[in-house]
Amino acid sequence: MDKLSIGQHISGQFNADLEALKTELLEMGGLVEEQVISAVKAITSADSELAEQVITREEEVDNFEVKLDEQCTLVLARRQPAAGDLRMVLAVAKIIRDLERMGDEAQKIAKMALELNEEGEAPRGYVELRHIGSLVHQMVINTLDCFARFDVNLALNVAKEDGRVDQEYKSAMRELATYMMEDPRSISRVLNIVWAIRSLERIGDHSRNIAEHVIFLVKGLDVRHVSVKEMQRKLGQEDD
């Protein structure tokens, strides 16, 4: 089934339940996206206040997860959804887990920002952080979009972008490792940047997971643990 329409049930309440799942998941996604941007900004502009704010708001993300998890359970228990509806509920239950972990990673980045502000700025790494930060930010936006529009092609793009982030992550690591060898006194400060970049890379991985859940939701295909090429093959798309 290519077309997913969550309306038109005989039961209006069922429509409302599914619609609520979708809307609240997007709200949660919006919050996580904001957390990611703020966390990166907290490091790059040495803004402790913003970092504190990210750390405090992490609780909101957690609350969203608990609430949405409960709603999924209720829909399963009350409606015994099948087919597209079932995949919707399952996908939401999985996506919130990834979103919550993305929130955790954003919080870690914010903590790194605080440490950097206490220990003094790292001599290097900000360019890489900003660069990977903006790639990952775009991934998060696309991830939420592909869910909102049930867009399989966009989901596939997210998976591809994740490959790019991984590349950038590796090259940043190489560069920062060289720098730490050259100037051992800066190791602890540069490591803070390393952890932050690592968290961004993890956020990218979670975005890819979400994109995979979206493909499952829309197409009913399980594309976990496969290469992007294999994903394309499963989706019946030519390699480009």
Partner 1 sequence: MEATVGSANTIGKLNSEAPVSKATANYKEQAAGKTVGIPFVEHPKMSMRDVQVYYGDKQAIFDVGLDIGKNEVVAMIGPSGCGKSTFLRCLNRMNDTIDICRVEGSLKLEELDIYDPKLDVVPLRARVGMVFQKPNPFPKSIYDNVAYGPRIHGLVSRKSELDEIVETSLRRAGLWEEVKDRLLSPGTGLSGGQQQRLCIARTIAVSPEVILMDEPCSALDPIATAKIEELIAELSANFTIAIVTHSMQQAARVSDRTAYFHLGKLIEVNETEKVFTNPDHELTEAYITGRFG
How far is 129 from 86, CA to CA, in rounded Å? 39
Among 57, 87, 94, 213, binds partner 1 (CB under 8 A): 87
- Taking the least distance from each CB to partner 1, the nearer of 169 and 216 is 216
In whole angstroms, how close is the CB of 110 to partner 1 at the nearest point?
A: 40
Residue 9 in contact with partner 1, rule: CB under 8 A = yes
Closest CB 9 distance from partner 1, rounded Å: 5
SS (HEC) of 25-93: HHHHHHHHHHHHHHHHHHHHCCCHHHHHHHHHHHHHHHHHHHHHHHHHHHHHHHHCCCHHHHHHHHHHH
- Lookup result for tokens 């709200």: 27
- What minimum distance in Å lies between the beta carbon of 217 and partner 1? 10
What is the C-alpha to C-alpha distance for residues 198 and 131, in angstroms, rounded to an integer? 13
Candidates 7-15, 31-39, 173-181, 202-210; binding stretch for partner 1 (CB under 8 A): 7-15
Residues 63-82 that bind partner 1 (CB under 8 A): 79-82
16 is a contact residue toward partner 1 (CB under 8 A): no
Give me the least distance between CB of 176 and partner 1, in Å please: 45
126 binds partner 1 (CB under 8 A): no
For position 85 contacting partner 1 by CB under 8 A, the verdict is: yes
**Could you tell me which residues come within 8 angstroms of residue 123 by beta carbon, excluding any fewer than 6 positions away?**
179, 183, 186, 189, 190
Count residues binding partner 1 (CB under 8 A).
Answer: 18
Residue with tokens 């939701």: 217
Shortest distance, position 142 Cβ to partner 1, whole Å: 24
Binds partner 1 by CB under 8 A, chosen from 20, 83, 127, 177 = 83
CA distance 41 to 57: 15
User: Binding marks (x or -) toward partner 1, 187..226, rule CB under 8 A?
Assistant: --------------------------------xx------
Nearer to partner 1 (CB atom), residue 174 or residue 224: 224
* Binding positions for partner 1, rule: CB under 8 A: 1, 3, 8-11, 14, 79-87, 219-220
